[in-house]
Amino acid sequence: MRLKVGSRMQRSGNNGGNVSSGFSTKLVSLFCIASFCFGVFVVNRLWAVPDLVDTDKNIAASTGKYGNINPAIKCDHKKIDASANGDRRSHAIKTLDKTIYSLEMQLAAAREAKAENEKKATDAKSGNNSSNYNAQKVFFVMGIITAFSSRKRRDSIRETWMPQADALKKLEKDKRIVIRFVIGHSATPGGVLDRALDAEEAEHKDFLRLNHVEGYHELSSKTQIYFSTAVSKWDADMYIKVDDDVHVNLGILSSLLSRHQSKPRIYIGCMKSGPVLGHKGVKYHEPEYWKFGEEGNKYFRHATGQIYAISKDLAKYISVNRDILHRYANEDVSLGSWFIGLDVDHIDERSLCCGTPPDCEWKAQAGNPCAASFDWSCSGICKSVERMVQVHQLCGEDRDIF
């Protein structure tokens, strides 16, 4: 029996069966295939990969950054992250701009205070009493904007409505009114133009010289420097700018300004709002026309440039912030823009923009005399050198009442 059994096992091994275990290779193969299929089935059932919508939904729920997300809408959370980062950067930049602006304002004020202190210290050391005079309280300072080529215009004003020599000093002493022709220097200081002006100044002593290079396209800068210089030299209630081809009645102007003398932040003039001229080659072209909106828009309300007055606090504002105040091509627009956003009282005074005779003559006869007269067509008195005397004779006030 033992021999027969052993013989049977040996024959079975020779036929390809599994000697060590006694299992058939077919059964092992089937078992492996079945195990693989079962594994795939289990993985697909238990480890299903969520789609993109569910992923964004879970992220939104866990972080709370994006709020409620509609499951029907597939969102790219990377784009949302980029947008949020951009908003944060924009906010940071705006905050930084405001901080820089505030620091610039403080720096300008500190610079102005330092300059004034240094001037007072210098005057004290040198024994100069001019600082005491400069601190003297005056009613108003009138700056007549002029140029090197305008000698005849200045003489026509001296012959008519502007007092001269002792009369000018008496006006300052009795009425506390200061009047000066305002001018800078030439591009080559010490040249022929400057020497001629030095001689004229020595003769009349009625100039306020500015640290400014003369030029038509520099009127905005000149106006800014004028107010800064005047407010540091005289402590006035009002500061006036007038062109050298405008006729002024000082008594009527003085009466007009006295009505607003105690008010803060006063801006007085003949208010207008003209069109913004964006086309090159035209008079009063505004290169930065695009800042004022769509084509055909008008400027904000501002005083016409022939004559206007501002109170002391506004003149000081210009002086302190002169380094950061933007200057447009047109001087009157620049001045008006400096007051945008401030609590300023704009006073539209039509007696500051009367026409030349017969307009100002008729108004004077009717008991409503004009404070200033000029021609709109010329932005001043047309041919002012020849006509200033005529305008003064027909529209000028009686000197005795002033």
Q: How does pLDDT run across 255-285, given as a tens digit for each residue?
A: 999 999 889 999 999 999 888 777 777 777 7
| SS3 at position 128 | coil
Checking DSSP bridges between strand 177-185 and strand 247-248, what pairing results, if any?
A: unpaired
Q: How does pLDDT run across 182-233, given as a tens digit for each residue?
A: 999 998 888 899 999 999 999 999 999 999 988 766 889 999 999 999 999 9
Distances (CA, A) of 197 to 111, 225, 352: 31, 19, 29
Q: How does pLDDT run across 308-355, given as a tens digit for each residue?
A: 999 999 999 999 998 899 998 889 999 999 999 999 999 999 999 999
Q: How does pLDDT run across 114-128, given as a tens digit for each residue?
A: 655 665 555 554 444
Please indicate whether residue 1 or residue 293 has the higher confidence score (pLDDT): 293
- What is the 8-class DSSP label of residue 155? H
pLDDT of 33 reads 79
In this structure, what token pair is assigned to residue 219? 């009127």
Rounded Cα gap, residues 68 and 100, in angstroms? 38
Distances (CA, A) of 42 to 47, 48, 324: 8, 10, 73
Q: How does pLDDT run across 17-39, given as a tens digit for each residue?
A: 444 445 567 776 777 777 777 76
pLDDT of 216 reads 64
Answer yes or no: is pLDDT of 6 > 60: no
In this structure, what token pair is assigned to residue 71? 């499951």
pLDDT above 90: percentage of residues in the chain = 49
Q: How does pLDDT run across 44-72, given as a tens digit for each residue?
A: 554 444 444 444 444 444 444 444 444 44
Q: How far apart are the first and last CA of the chain?
A: 159
- Please answer whether residues 256 and 349 qualify as being in contact, where contact means their C-beta atoms are separated by less than 8 angstroms: yes
- Give the residue extent of every domain in the chain: 138-395
CATH architecture of the domain formed by 138-395:
Alpha-Beta Complex (3.90)
